[in-house]
Amino acid sequence: MRFPWSRRSAVPDDWRELAARHVADWGTYDPPDQERLGALMAELIDGHRWEPARGFELTDRMRVVIAIQASRLVLGLEGGTDWYERITTIVVHRSVLRFDRVEPGPVEGTEECGVVHLDGQTSYRGPVVISWDAASRNARHPTRGRDVVMHEFAHVLDMADGVVDGTPPLPPSQLERWVDVFTDAFDRLEEHGSEVLDDYAGTDAGEFFAVSTETFFTRPLQLAEAEPELYDLLRAFYRQDPAAAATDR
Ligand SMILES: [Zn+2]
C-alpha cells in the first residue's frame, strides 16, 4: 500500500554519477553489485535520520558517499542494512570531532558503550558521527588504507551482539578460528608492528577489527599478502573478495 503522505526519498537521481566521481574504487564493483549497493545506500539514506553538525549543511554528495561506503560492508551480509538498525542518527561534522571522553550513558554513573576518534564516533544504540573531511578524503584515496566510514560502521557490526570485542556475531563454525587468528595477528602487531595494518589496530580488539575491515576493503591485495589467514576470515565473514576484484580490474 502506498500512503499519500509518504516521505519523499532523499536519494538524489544522480547518485550513480556521484558514486563514480567521488568513490575511487566504485569501478571494482560489477554493475549488479553497484545496483545492490545503490539499494542499500537508499535504505541508509531514507531509513535513518541524518543531521549536520551545527553551522554545517548536508549535501547529496555527502549522503551518497557516506552511505555507499557504509553499504559496502553489508553488501554480502544476510540482512543487509538490518545490521545498522540500532543506529539512531548519522551525524556529519565538517572536520575533526572534539570529544574529551565517551558520552555519559542513560543511567547515571554509566558510560555509553562506544568509541571516540578524531574522525568519527560510534555508540551502542546511539549516533554514528563522521567527519566529512576525512570521509571524502578517504573515499578519494583508498590506497592510503584509511576509511573513517568503514571504520565506524565496522564498530556497529562488532556491537551487534552487544559488546565491542572485535568479534561480530559469527556462525559457531567460524568462531574458534576467528579468535585464534585474530589473537595471533594482534599479538604480532603489538610485538613487531605491521607492514599493512595501522598501529591504531593495536589499541584493543575492537579497534583491531575496525582497522582490519578498513584495510580489507581499501588495500585488499596488501592484506591478503601480509595476513592471508586474517584476509580469509574477513572474506568469509563479509562474503566478498575485494582482492580478487582488485586483481580483475
Ligand atoms: Zn575505532
pLDDT in tens, 36-86: 999 999 999 999 999 998 888 999 999 999 999 999 999 999 999 999 999
Task: Give the other-Cβ count within 10 Å of 21's Cβ.
Answer: 14
Tell me how far CA of residue 53 lies from CA of 6, 42, 112, 227, in angstroms.
Answer: 26, 22, 20, 38
Least confident of 107-116, 178-187, 197-206: 107-116
User: What pLDDT is stored for residue 248 in this prediction?
Assistant: 72
User: What pLDDT is stored for residue 103 in this prediction?
Assistant: 53
CA angle 245/80/36 to nearest 5° reads 50
User: What pLDDT is stored for residue 109 in this prediction?
Assistant: 47
Q: What spacing in Å lies between the alpha carbon of 147 and ligand 1's midpoint?
A: 11
User: What pLDDT is stored for residue 33 in this prediction?
Assistant: 97
**Could you give the residue range(s) of every CATH 3.40.390.10 domain in the chain?**
165-243
Q: What spacing in Å lies between the alpha carbon of 176 and ligand 1's midpoint?
A: 23
Instruction: Select from 47, 29, 50, 52 the least CA-distant residue to 83.
Output: 47
User: What pLDDT is stored for residue 3 in this prediction?
Assistant: 52
pLDDT at 127 over 80: yes
Asked if 155 and 147 touch (Cβ cutoff 8 Å), the reply is no
**Which band of pLDDT confidence, cut at 50, 70 and 90, is reported for residue 1?**
very low
User: What pLDDT is stored for residue 166 in this prediction?
Assistant: 95
Instruction: Select from 205, 160, 216 the least CA-distant residue to 179.
Output: 205
Fold of 165-243: Collagenase (Catalytic Domain) (3.40.390)
**Which band of pLDDT confidence, cut at 50, 70 and 90, is reported for residue 6?**
low
Q: What spacing in Å lies between the alpha carbon of 44 and ligand 1's midpoint?
A: 21
Q: What spacing in Å lies between the alpha carbon of 114 and ligand 1's midpoint?
A: 9
Alpha-carbon gap, residue 75 to 33, rounded angstroms: 8
Percent of the chain at pLDDT > 70 equals: 88
Q: What spacing in Å lies between the alpha carbon of 8 and ligand 1's midpoint?
A: 34
In CATH terms, the superfamily for domain 12-143 is Glucose-regulated metallo-peptidase M90, N-terminal domain (1.10.472.150)
**Which band of pLDDT confidence, cut at 50, 70 and 90, is reported for residue 110?**
very low
Across residues 105-123, what is the average pLDDT?
Answer: 62
Which residues lie closer than 8 Å to 25 by C-beta, 6 or more apart? 142, 218, 246
User: What pLDDT is stored for residue 249 in this prediction?
Assistant: 63
Q: What spacing in Å lies between the alpha carbon of 226 and ligand 1's midpoint?
A: 22
Q: What spacing in Å lies between the alpha carbon of 121 and ligand 1's midpoint?
A: 8
Alpha-carbon gap, residue 149 to 109, rounded angstroms: 30
**Could you give the residue range(s) of every CATH 1.10.472.150 domain in the chain?**
12-143
Across residues 134-158, what is the average pLDDT?
Answer: 95
Asked if 183 and 165 touch (Cβ cutoff 8 Å), the reply is no
User: What pLDDT is stored for residue 111 in this prediction?
Assistant: 47
User: What pLDDT is stored for residue 189 in this prediction?
Assistant: 96
Phi, psi of 195 (to 5 degrees): -80, -15
Least confident of 61-65, 97-101, 198-202: 97-101
User: What pLDDT is stored for residue 195 in this prediction?
Assistant: 92
Q: What spacing in Å lies between the alpha carbon of 116 and ligand 1's midpoint?
A: 7
Which residues lie closer than 8 Å to 245 by C-beta, 6 or more apart? 28, 29, 220
CA angle 248/83/2 to nearest 5° reads 100
Q: What spacing in Å lies between the alpha carbon of 134 and ligand 1's midpoint?
A: 14
The edge-to-edge listing of strands for the beta sheet with 89-93 is 49-52, 89-93, 128-131, 120-123, 114-116
Q: What is the dihedral of CA 25, 26, 27, 30, to 10 degrees?
A: 130
